[in-house]
Amino acid sequence: MTSTGPMVARRHGGSMQISAAFGPDPRPGGNARGPGDSSVLARSWPSAPLEPADSRGPTVPRESLEPLGVASPTTGSSPLRWVEPFGPVGPLRPVQQVGPSAGLTIPVPTGFRPQGDQSERPTSAGVYDALLGGTAHRRVDRRFALAILLEWPDAPAAARVTSEFLVRAVRFAARNGVNQFLALGAGARTIDPVHEIACAVAPESQTVYVEPDPLVIARVLPDVPTDQATMVRADLARPDEVLRHPGVRARLDLTRPIVVVAVPGLPQVADDRDPREVLRGYREATPRGSLLIFSQLCDEGSARGLRGLFEQAGLPGTQRPHAQTVDLVSTWDPIEPGLVPAEEWHAPDERPRPHFGRIPVYASVGWR
């Protein structure tokens, strides 16, 4: 299997380099890990081409950023422009003053159509996958991921921190005998999907992905192994309807504990739909002994500007204050250590934490 590499932002010689990296996944099977390793292995990728800035593309101005992910090739101190590896993506419109540098213009897809051809509409799952370096995304998802990267250069690191937490939390549940998973949202299908993590620990595990977006379902459903998982289309914010869905009932035994995986699904539930009541509804609709795996990007620091970007693209991407996040997870009984930075949740003591204190992603596991 080949995999698209993570997006990269790096400061060099006073100018920022941005690239999309590509290369084969060096891990056997694409997801191999060492015995007992609860983290996602680091990967090295060759970088995509970078060209000197000219009139054909936007010039990325000077920024003061720490290196993220894979370093781009050293090309001197001239400003660089990002080279779109997939070619042009439909009609574009400029988004002015994106990120900390006034006047920066980033092309973002426009002209989304709710009916017919939806190829110009990014999806939450596709953008998340692109930030992680997966393969289950399209050009428009990758272009929008670039816009996020320029608004918040820590976005790929935040996606990786979230993914690593998910690996540890799913393994925690499977090792403790809860092997039925209800995943709210498709997530990043090619990078550590829930069913693969669970079955690596408990081969009898079963997973149901609940995804409201038909565009996502059409893209990832053919890759879901029918002996381990299935995918249903349903509204994440309606727990009773989700758990009454024939596809859910055919796959999961609702008399036994279930793991509700709200990573990254709950941020797609807008505040006007009462996400606290949504989580409480899943608690009430599942048997005792069920677990909730939860993460949330909070609107702290440089991540505050993302909400407007998602609104412009017509995507759900709700950031929440930390106090509201604490209230959300209180609907389930916390398991030690409670709500903490995602990097810290059951992380091995020897594991480096290069982003600690900089990535406002909080995570917890609760039970009922």
Domain assignment present for residue 226? The answer is: yes
> What pLDDT does residue 354 have?
59
| Cβ–Cβ < 8 Å for 162, 340 | no
What gap in Å lies between CA 126 and CA 136, rounded to an integer? 6
Token pair for 187: 């997530």
> What pLDDT does residue 11 have?
36
Domain assignment present for residue 110? The answer is: no
> What pLDDT does residue 213 have?
84
* Residue 288, number of CB atoms within 10 A of its CB: 8
Helix H segments across the chain? 124-132, 139-151, 155-175, 194-201, 214-220, 239-244, 246-251, 275-285, 306-312, 322-329
What gap in Å lies between CA 350 and CA 347, rounded to an integer? 8
> What pLDDT does residue 351 have?
62
Domain assignment present for residue 292? The answer is: yes
The total number of structural domains in the chain stands at 1
> What pLDDT does residue 350 have?
62
With 0-12 CB in 10 A as exposed, 13-18 as middle and 19+ as buried, what is 273? middle
> What pLDDT does residue 110 have?
39
- Which residues is 294 bridged to in the sheet? 262, 364
Domain assignment present for residue 56? The answer is: no
> What pLDDT does residue 80 have?
27
Domain assignment present for residue 205? The answer is: yes
3-state helix, strand, coil in the chain (%, to 5): 30, 20, 50
Domain assignment present for residue 130? The answer is: no
Q: What is the mean pLDDT of each run of 10 residues along the chain (368 residues)?
A: 42 35 34 34 28 32 28 28 31 34 35 45 87 86 92 91 95 98 83 91 97 84 86 94 96 98 84 93 97 92 79 79 93 96 86 68 96
Domain assignment present for residue 362? The answer is: yes
CA distance to 53, 61, 121, 143, 265, per residue, from 80 (Å): 5, 8, 27, 17, 35
Kindly report the CATH number assigned to the domain that includes residue 349: 3.40.50.150
Domain assignment present for residue 94? The answer is: no
What phi-psi label fits residue 154: left (phi over 0), alpha (psi between -120 and 50 degrees) or beta?
alpha
Angle (CA) 61-67-71 rounded to 5° is 95
Give the phi and the psi of residue 15 in degrees, each rounded to 5.
-125, 155
Note down the domain range covering 326: 156-367
What is the crossing angle of helices 155-175 and 124-132, to 10°?
100
